[in-house]
Structure formats: structure tokens, C-alpha cells
Amino acid sequence: MLEFIALPAFQDNYIWLILDSKRQEAAVVDPGDALPVIAWLGRHPEYQLRHILVTHHHRDHTGGLATLKAATDCRIWGPAHGSIASLDRRLNDDDEITVLGKTLQVIAVPGHTLDHIAFYCDDHEDSWLLSGDTLFAGGCGRLFEGTAVQMHASLERLKALPDSTRVYCAHEYTQANLRFARAVEPANNDIKVRMEVVDDLRSAGRITLPSSIGLEKRTNPFMRAQEPDVVAAAAQRQDASVNPGAETLAVIRAWKDQF
């Protein structure tokens, strides 16, 4: 089984370092800053960086690409439909790639950006998702380029993955996201319990990730945009009737932007 290590970057980013201890090879995800990766590799010279996976073009996910490429000669894979210049391979929806001996499916998930992709590995009982800034623990990304319709469709695709799928997102936003989720669904006991766990983790300075698809389906309002309580909260916020799905997501995303 591969090992996942979160390398903190900037204020709240995580650069996921994925390790294959047998091969002594590594991959990294969305290295907005090369220094945390280079520092880790310097402390573990037995590992070779083989791959970089990029979910979208934002600078806090791509800023370290050129430095890491020059330092390690790794291969960089990212979205075909974007402005990232340093890619060795441009990936489209439903492409499959092999990273550290594992087959990863590319899933197009526009909404946060138009070029956003996620990487999904279904390795028998060990399934995991690299969701970038599309699906967060307890939330979803802002709609900088895409629409609520696109984001809803993207989250529905991710929602269809097995409940046991581990979710590795790119930011430590869980605590703030759950405070908003609680405002949307104050009667949701799953959110209440999760908030208590997350508050304890953050008080101890610990990471709140990974999440899971099953947990997100129970506690993430953006994956619950068809649930009656979430639709009702959106309608109350809008002071008008709101349709389940993308319309509800649009209302609560705008609400979250001002929360």
C-alpha cells in the first residue's frame, strides 16, 4: 500500500507526497511551492521523485513545477484544457495513467476552474481520490471560472464513487467548512459529531484529512444539494423557492462566499 504524507505549504495548502517504499519512488500532487518537496527529498535521498500530478492551473498548485522538473527530471501530468506550460502529458476525461504501479483514472471536474481534473485509484479495497480544489472536506471550491451547474455535475460524479474512497484535497479548510455546514443543516447530527472531532484535531495542531466519500455524503452541504433540509435552507436564504441540485448549490455557494 502506498503512503500519503501531507507537506504544508503557504497558509493552508497541502502538497500530497505519495510514497512507494518498495520501489523507493515518490509522486507529488499540486506542488505550488517546490521547497517543501525538495526539503523532504533531501532528508530522504533514497527516494526518487518520478511523477507530479496537477489538478488545475492556479499558482498555489503549480508554482513549484519548473524547479522540481529541473531538480529531478520527473514527469509532470496535468489537465489538457488549460494554460500549464510545463506538462509532459496533457490529460483528458477518462484517461488512465500509471503512477507508482497504480492505475489512476482521470475525472474532469470543472467548476472551481474550467480545466480542473481529479485522479481516482480503485485498487481493490484501497480506493482513493486526489480532488484538488473541487471537493474539500465539508465543502467545495469557489466558482472562479465554472458554473454551479458544472460544479454540481462534478460533485455528482465524485459522489458516485465508493463510500470507502479516501479523499485527499488540497487545503485545510475543514473546520470553517463544517461551521458553514452546521448553519445550513443545524439538525444534522453527523455534522455535529464531525465538528467535535475536527475541533479536537485542530486544537492539537493535527491535520483533518483524508476524508471519505461516505463522510462527505453525510456532512457536506454541497454534496447534499438534493436533500430536503439543504434545499429548504437555500430557499430560506433566497427568500424564494429553489430547485434541488444545481440551483440549491448556487445559492449555498454564494452564501458560503459571504459566511
- On the question of pLDDT at 39 being above 80, the answer is yes
Active site residue 171: yes
pLDDT category of residue 1 using cuts at 50, 70 and 90: confident
CB 75 within 8 A of CB 49: no
Catalytic residue, candidates 51, 57, 61, 116:
61
In this prediction, residue 86 has a pLDDT band, given cuts at 50, 70 and 90, of: confident
* 52 beta partners: 28, 76
Query: Which of 51, 57, 58, 116 is labelled catalytic?
Result: 58
Q: State pTM to two decimals.
A: 0.97
What is the rounded average pLDDT of the residues 3-28?
97
Which residue segment(s) compose the domain that 238 sits in?
3-257
**Among 189, 18, 63, 55, which residue's Cα sits nearest to residue 135?**
55
Interval 93-150: pLDDT, tens: 999 999 999 999 999 999 999 999 999 999 877 899 999 999 999 999 999 999 999 9
Closest CA to 209 of 116, 131, 106: 131
Say how far apart CA 156 and CA 25 lie, in whole Å: 33
Nearest to 109 by CA among 77, 76, 136: 136
- Total number of domains constituting the chain: 1
Residue 85 has pLDDT above 90, yes or no: no
Q: Is 112 a catalytic residue?
A: yes
Q: Check residue 82 and give its pLDDT.
A: 81
pLDDT in tens, 175-215: 999 999 999 999 999 999 999 999 999 999 999 999 999 99
Short-list 111, 110, 112, 130, CA closest to 120: 130
- 133 carries an active-site annotation: yes
Answer for the pair 141, 134: CB distance below 8 angstroms, yes or no.
Answer: yes
61 as an active site residue: the answer is: yes
Active site residue: 20, 30, 60, 115, which one? 60
Domain with 176 in it: what CATH number? 3.60.15.10
Q: Would the pLDDT of 6 be above 80?
A: yes
What integer is the mean pLDDT of 247-251?
98
Give the pLDDT confidence of 72-81 residue by residue, as tens digits. 989 999 999 8
* DSSP-derived pairing of the beta strands 117-123 and 126-132: antiparallel
- Give per-residue pLDDT as tens, 211-233: 999 999 999 999 999 999 999 99
58 is catalytic: yes
Average pLDDT, whole number, for the chain? 97
